[in-house]
Structure 1
Amino acid sequence: MKSVSATIAFIFVFHLFATNNSAFAGNGYHVADTGIVADGATPQLISRNFSFTEGPTADRQGNIYFTDQPNNKIWKYSTDGHLSVFMDSAGRSNGMYFDKKGNLYSCADERNQLWKIDSHKKITVLINDLNGKKLNGPNDLWVSPRGDVYFTDPYYQRSWWARTKPEITGEKVYVLLHGSRKVIPVVDTLQRPNGIAGTADGKYLYVSDLQGGKTYRYTIRKDGSLSNAQLFVNMGSDGMTTDSQGNVYLTGRGVTVFNKKGVQIAHIPIPEGWTANLTFGGKNRNKLFITASEAVYMLDMKVRGIE
């Protein structure tokens, strides 16, 4: 999530995307008939009783959790359509992700921490600082099949922080290896890393440089480090997800979908000023849940998300 207080800066970035990316050009919004969206389906509004929604992720049952960061809450949207508050005083959670054991990982932006929340809502602080200095502000994350946690750490000034500048140098991507408490930088070449997602087999990691207007793909080595950085598409993204076919979904002005070769195959318009993030959920993992500013939407799909 970008800073709510930095709306003007985002509009500027948004304008650059609209100017330089065909996905945003003109008014020709469409959902290409590529077999990924259910026949006749359109995004359905679930609710708009929020300030800024982010961080959607699904548990193993398909229930979806997302954040309303300005109001410091994590919400749950169950598979039966019930919407409820999962957690108050949620650390100003931003990006979130469930691991295979049912733990909910959260970028707890209030104190620049990384949390693990178990099924009993017990919070474990996994990362509190980096060599005694605050992280910029963990933004989005992905947990690999073996339990390594990759997260982006851009600097977006928050109204709830006392500090007004970074304590560390650079905006990077880090990994917290499974069973370790040591944070390791794995990407330090991006202007402002933001959205992040990996493939179901754990072989590749996608990272968006929102400010740079690009998304990259990296090979994940056996030791958890990254190699073979490749430009995937000339488009940045606030959040992202992948499906079982290897397609990559980027956000911003609606949802833009690329196949694994980086070819755009669809654009899904969302009737909001900014689309922040998305995930697959539902009992069959075939519903695309979209957080878009003050609202959340659901779209029936033909493809399934990864588990």
Structure 2
Amino acid sequence: MEVKGMSSPPIDSNKIVVADAKLQLIGDGFAFTEGPAADKDGNVYFTDQPNNRIWKYDLNGKLSVFMENAGRANGLYFDEDGALIACADEQNQLWRIKDGAVEKLVIHYQDTLLNGPNDVWVASNGLIYFTDPYYQRDYWERKAPDLKVQALYLYKKNQQVIRLDEEFKRPNGIVGTADGRYLYVADIGDDKTYRYTIKKNGMLTKKRLFIPQGSDGMTIDTEGNLYLTGNGVSVYDKQARKIAHIDIPAKWTANVCFGGKDRNVLFITASDKVFTLKMRTKGVH
């Protein structure tokens, strides 16, 4: 696995990126990288789904394998207790990983196998929101989904799984605001991203089209700017105005998060590579 620095192509806007900052290639040679998430200290964890591993990129710039046999984990997010919530789509489950132990939070929806949890966001009150699109995997025996819809779900600590919205072609990226007011969900199958208002009980209301652009993974900064992925990283402000685009030298940019001690390093998973970029903006702790 090669680890080195490299220059980035021109960046459209310096509003959010440190002046003269360059993309740093911190690792390549993976099969397909996904699901970056930062712990409370700013260490970043990400998945190499085809190789069934979760990796860790620590504050000293060291890459190490955090977990083998990781349930074919895709999207990741840390909860308030420091546990890693993982979309483990090998058996279409949602996992909670803490101190090396795996707790299977969700194994089905109303006794039916899920499509394959893909991306996840955990609110500060512990409520877990996740998307469940269907992507046929070569490690599955089944050749068709058990569920008729591809939907957005809410998991509550009493093991209750609630289907919140099934009006998608293929939901994917998901992230919420730090204040818990809004939830963004991308429909990558319809090239749209929606915004919901989160009610006090965790349910959603006031769904509206936010941007006519889909996304694989997503993140958000403390200013409320939304970062979408796919063809590089596109950044939109709270008024849905595009303020920046970051070109990434890879076939596909799958996901993104903020990491580092001060949460001002953008961590980018892109095909067989992972990059970092120093930002003016900061991610949510």
* Structure 2 length-normalised TM: 0.96
Matched, 1:167 2:146: yes
Partner deviation per Cα, 1:150-207 (whole Å, 9 max, x = no partner)? 0000000000001000111100000002x22111011111111000000000110000
Corresponding residue of 2:24? 44
Partners of 2:279 and 2:10 in 1: CA distance: 18
Q: Which residue of 2 aligns with 1:126?
A: 105
CA distance in 2, matches of 1:168, 1:230: 25
Residue 225 of structure 2 is aligned to residue 261 of structure 1: no
Q: Secondary structure, in 3 states, of the residue corresponding to 1:87?
A: strand
1:207 aligns with: 185
**1:232-275: CA deviations, max 9, x gaps?**
11100000000000000000010000001100000000000100
Structure-2 separation of matches of 1:49 and 1:192: 29
Q: 1:81-160, aligned counterparts within 5 Å? A: 81-118=61-98, 120-160=99-139
Alpha-carbon shift at residue 128 of structure 1 (Å): 0.7
Change in CA separation of 1:253 and 1:162 when aligned onto 2, cut-off 3 Å? same
Q: Measure the CA separation in 1 of the matches of 2:111 and 2:168.
A: 23
User: Does the 8 Å CA contact 1:29/1:267 hold for their aligned counterparts?
Assistant: no
Task: Show the counterpart of 1:60.
Answer: 40
Residue 56 (structure 2) aligns with:
76
1:196 aligns with 2:174: yes
Measured against aligned partners, the alpha-carbon deviations of 1:217-238 in whole angstroms (never above 9, x if no partner) come to 0000011110001111110000
Between the aligned partners of 1:31 and 1:100, the Cα distance in structure 2 is: 35
Per the TM alignment, residue 302 of structure 1 is displaced from its structure 2 partner at its CA by 0.8
Classify the secondary structure of the residue corresponding to 1:70: helix
| Larger CA deviation: 40-49 vs 66-75 | 40-49
The equivalent residue for 1:30 is 11
Matched position secondary structure for 1:137: coil
Aligned to 1:279: 257
Higher strand share: 2
Q: Which amino acid aligns with 2:115?
A: N
Distance (whole Å) between structure 1 residues aligned to residue 145 and residue 36 of structure 2:
27
Amino acid across the alignment from 1:77: Y
CA distance in 2, matches of 1:69, 1:114: 15
Q: Whose helix proportion is higher, 1 or 2? A: 1
Task: Read off the aligned partner of 2:128 and give its amino acid letter.
Answer: V
In 2, Cα distance between equivalents of 1:29 and 1:250? 18
Q: How far apart are 1:32 and its partner, in Å?
A: 1.1
Q: How many angstroms does 1:29 deviate by?
A: 6.3
Aligned residues between the structures: 277
- Summarize deviations over 1:45-72 as a string: whole Å, max 9, x none: 0111200000000000100000000000
Q: Give the secondary-structure state (helix, strand or coil) at the position aligned to 1:124.
A: strand
- Which of 172, 175, 185 aligns to 2:163? It is 185
For residues 286 and 33 of structure 1, what CA distance do their matches in structure 2 show? 14
Q: CA deviation at 1:33?
A: 2.7
Q: d(CA) in 1 for partners of 2:100 and 2:205?
A: 36
The normalised TM-score by structure 1 is: 0.89
Overall identity of the aligned pairs, in %: 53
SS state at 1:164 partner: coil
**Does the residue aligned with 2:50 lie in a helix, a strand or coil?**
helix
Which of 201, 207, 221 lines up with 1:229 in the alignment? 207
Q: Distance in 2 between matches of 1:124 and 1:135?
A: 17
**Counterpart secondary structure, 1:276:** strand
Question: Which amino acid in the other structure matches residue 240 of structure 1?
Answer: M
- What's the offset of the Cα at 1:31? 2.5
Classify 1:29/1:263 alpha carbon distance in 2 versus 1 (closer, same or farther; 3 Å). Answer: farther
C-alpha RMSD of the superposition:
1.0
